[in-house]
C-alpha cells in the first residue's frame, strides 16, 4: 500500500489527498469502527500520512517552497478566492452535463463575490453541504462520495498556481469517482424500488443501455480531434478563440512545417487578442527576421525583452538579428546575455559559438562549444568543435568530435566529411574514403567531398 501510494504521488500529485480520505473512512465509515480502538485506526493510515508529509517536505526542500512559481501572478489572492467559487460551479455543471467538450478553456477571472459565476458556486456548495448533512444520517456512502469529489477538486481551484489552462476537463477525472459512487448508489436504489414494476425496470435498464451505446460513437468522433496537433489546435480554437496558448502553438506547428506565412497569421491574431504577450512578440520577431524585415524584428524582440527580461530566447534571437544586420557589438552583447540568463541552454551556447566562429574567434568558440557539450551534446556542437580541431591540425581530437556527432546522427553528412578530412590528414586513406562516400549518400553534390573522393581514389590507384 505504501509503495503504491508513493508511486501515485510521483505520478500525479493530487494523490496527496488520500491520507485525509483514509482517515475519514476509518473513523466515520468503516463497518467495524465502533469495535476498533483509536490505535488500530491510526495504525491503518499512519503510513500514508508519513509518506504524504515526507513528500511535501521533499518538495519544499527541492523547490524552496510548496509552489515555487505563481503561474498567474496577475491574479490577486482575492480574485483567486472569488474565482474558486466560479470554478466549482463550472466543474459541477461539466460533470452533470458533459457536452461541448473542449481540450482547452479560456479562463476569465472573477473580480467579486457578487459575480453571477461566483454566486452559482456558492449555491452549489450550499446545496452540496445540505446534501452531505442529509445523507450523513441516512447513507454515508453518499456523504463520502461528496467529500471525495470536493476534496480532490480543491487542489485545482487556486488559479494562481495552475497556469493558462486553469479549468480543464481532465481535472475532473479523480473527483468524478465520488460522483460515480453516488450515481451507482442512486441507480441501485431506484432498481430496488422498482421491484414491483417489471415494465419500469425494463425501461430503466433499456435507458441505461441506450446511454452507454450512444457514448461509444461520441467517444470515437471525439478521438478524431486528437489525431494530430494541427487538428486538435484548430478544433479547440473554433470553440475557444481566446485560447492564446493554443494559437501560439498552432503557429509553432506551421513554423516547424516550413509554413512561415500561416504561422505569422496565427501569431498576429494571437497578438491582437493579447497585445503585450512576450512570447508572441518573440515569435513574430522570428517571422519578420526570416523575411528580412529586420527593423520590425528588432522592435518585436526588444518589446519581448522589456516584458520578460529573463527570457533567454528573445536575447538570443535579437543577437542573431543584430549579427545579420552587421551590428556585431550589439549582437555579442545580446548573445552573451542569453547565455548568462540560461547557462545550461545548449542552443544559446551554440549560437554564441557560431558568432565567434563566423568572426574567426576560434578559442572563444571552442570554450562555448565545450560548455554546450557539457550541458548536453548536440551534433551541431560536436561538428563545430571538430571543424575547429581540423583547422588546428588536432586530428585525433577532431576524429573524436566527429564520431560523437555520428553517434547522435549516423546520417550527418557534415560529420562524415569532417571525419574524412581528419582521417585523410592522418594517412588513413581507406577509412577516409568510406567516410566521404557515406557523407555523399545524403549530400551527393557536395563539391569538396567529391573532389576529395576522386583525389583519394587517384592516390590508391597510383603505382608506387
What is the pLDDT, as a whole number, of residue 464? 53
The band of 213, judged by pLDDT with boundaries at 50, 70 and 90, is very high
Mean pLDDT of 232-258: 93
The Cβ-side half-sphere exposure at 327, using a 13 Å CA radius, reads 14
What is the pLDDT, as a whole number, of residue 332? 97
What is the pLDDT, as a whole number, of residue 30? 87
Q: What is the pLDDT of residues 89-100, one digit of tens each?
A: 999 999 999 888
Of the ranges 11-15, 48-52, 261-265, which one carries the lowest mean pLDDT score? 11-15
Q: What is the pLDDT of residues 410-429, one digit of tens each?
A: 999 999 999 999 999 999 99
Distance, in Å, from the CA atom of 90 to the CA atom of 102, rounded to the nearest integer, reads 13
Asked whether 388 and 369 are in contact (CB, 8 A), the reply is yes
Q: What is the pLDDT of residues 99-119, one digit of tens each?
A: 888 888 888 889 999 999 999
Task: Quickly tell me which residue has 500520512 as its cell.
Answer: 49
Mean pLDDT of 28-56: 92
pLDDT of 459 > 80? The answer is: no
Mean pLDDT across the chain:
92
The band of 359, judged by pLDDT with boundaries at 50, 70 and 90, is very high
pLDDT of 218 > 60? The answer is: yes
What is the pLDDT, as a whole number, of residue 68? 65
What is the pLDDT, as a whole number, of residue 53? 94
User: In 257-394, which residue ranges form alpha helices assigned H by DSSP?
Assistant: 260-273, 278-290, 294-307, 312-324, 328-341, 346-358, 362-376, 379-391
What is the pLDDT, as a whole number, of residue 178? 94
Asked whether 165 and 104 are in contact (CB, 8 A), the reply is yes
What share of the chain has pLDDT > 70, as a percent?
A: 98
- DSSP-assigned states of every residue in 163-212: -S--S-GGGGTTTHHHHHHHHHHHHHHHHHHTTT-HHHHHHHHHHHHHHH
Q: What is the pLDDT of residues 275-295, one digit of tens each?
A: 999 999 999 999 999 999 999
pLDDT of 336 > 70? The answer is: yes
Give the chain's domains with CATH numbers.
1-68 (no CATH), 72-193 (no CATH), 378-464 (1.25.40.10)
pLDDT of 463 > 60? The answer is: no
Reported pTM? 0.77
CA 142-80-102 angle, 5° bins: 65
Amino acid at each position: 500500500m505504501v509503495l503504491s501510494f508513493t508511486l501515485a504521488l510521483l505520478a500525479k500529485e493530487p494523490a496527496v489527498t488520500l491520507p485525509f480520505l483514509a482517515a475519514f473512512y476509518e473513523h466515520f465509515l468503516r463497518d467495524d469502527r465502533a469495535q476498533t480502538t483509536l490505535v488500530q485506526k491510526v495504525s491503518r493510515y499512519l503510513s500514508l500520512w508519513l509518506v504524504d508529509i515526507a513528500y511535501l517536505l521533499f518538495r519544499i526542500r527541492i523547490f524552496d517552497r510548496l509552489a515555487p512559481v505563481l503561474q498567474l501572478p496577475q491574479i490577486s489572492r482575492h480574485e483567486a478566492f472569488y474565482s474558486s467559487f466560479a470554478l466549482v460551479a463550472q466543474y459541477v455543471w461539466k460533470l452533470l452535463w458533459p457536452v461541448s467538450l473542449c481540450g482547452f478553456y479560456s479562463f476569465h477571472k472573477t473580480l467579486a463575490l457578487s459575480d453571477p459565476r461566483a454566486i452559482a458556486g456558492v449555491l452549489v456548495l450550499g446545496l452540496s453541504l445540505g446534501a452531505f448533512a442529509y445523507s450523513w444520517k441516512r447513507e454515508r456512502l453518499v456523504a463520502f462520495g461528496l467529500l471525495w469529489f470536493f476534496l480532490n477538486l480543491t487542489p485545482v481551484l487556486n488559479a494562481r498556481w495552475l497556469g493558462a489552462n486553469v479549468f480543464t476537463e481532465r481535472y475532473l477525472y479523480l473527483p468524478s469517482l465520488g460522483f460515480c459512487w453516488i450515481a451507482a448508489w442512486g441507480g441501485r436504489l431506484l432498481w430496488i424500488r422498482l421491484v414491483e414494476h417489471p415494465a419500469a425496470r425494463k425501461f430503466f435498464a433499456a435507458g441505461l443501455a441506450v446511454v452507454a451505446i450512444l457514448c461509444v460513437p461520441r467517444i470515437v468522433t471525439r478521438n478524431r480531434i486528437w489525431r494530430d496537433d494541427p487538428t486538435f489546435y484548430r478544433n479547440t480554437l473554433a470553440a475557444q478563440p481566446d485560447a492564446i496558448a493554443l494559437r501560439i502553438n498552432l503557429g509553432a506547428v506551421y513554423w516547424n512545417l516550413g509554413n512561415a506565412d500561416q504561422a505569422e497569421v496565427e501569431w498576429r491574431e494571437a497578438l491582437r487578442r493579447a497585445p503585450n504577450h512576450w512570447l508572441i512578440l518573440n515569435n513574430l520577431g522570428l517571422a519578420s527576421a526570416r523575411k528580412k524585415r529586420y527593423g520590425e524584428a528588432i522592435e518585436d524582440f526588444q518589446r519581448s525583452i522589456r516584458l520578460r527580461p529573463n527570457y533567454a530566447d528573445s536575447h538570443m534571437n535579437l543577437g542573431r538579428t543584430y549579427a545579420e544586420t552587421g551590428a556585431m557589438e550589439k549582437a555579442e552583447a545580446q548573445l552573451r546575455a542569453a547565455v548568462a540568463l540560461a547557462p545550461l541552454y545548449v542552443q544559446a551556447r551554440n549560437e554564441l559559438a557560431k558568432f565567434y566562429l563566423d568572426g574567426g574567434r576560434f578559442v572563444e568558440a571552442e570554450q562555448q562549444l565545450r560548455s554546450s557539450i557539457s550541458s548536453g551534446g548536440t551534433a551541431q556542437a560536436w561538428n563545430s568543435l571538430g571543424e575547429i580541431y581540423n583547422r588546428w591540425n588536432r586530428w585525433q581530437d577532431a576524429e573524436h568530435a566527429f564520431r560523437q556527432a555520428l553517434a547522435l546522427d549516423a546520417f550527418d553528412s557534415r560529420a562524415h566529411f569532417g571525419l574524412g578530412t581528419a582521417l585523410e590528414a592522418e594517412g588513413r586513406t581507406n577509412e577516409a574514403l568510406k567516410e566521404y562516400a557515406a557523407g555523399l549518400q545524403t549530400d551527393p553534390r557536395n563539391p569538396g567531398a567529391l573532389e576529395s573522393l576522386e583525389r583519394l581514389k587517384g592516390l590508391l590507384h597510383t603505382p608506387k
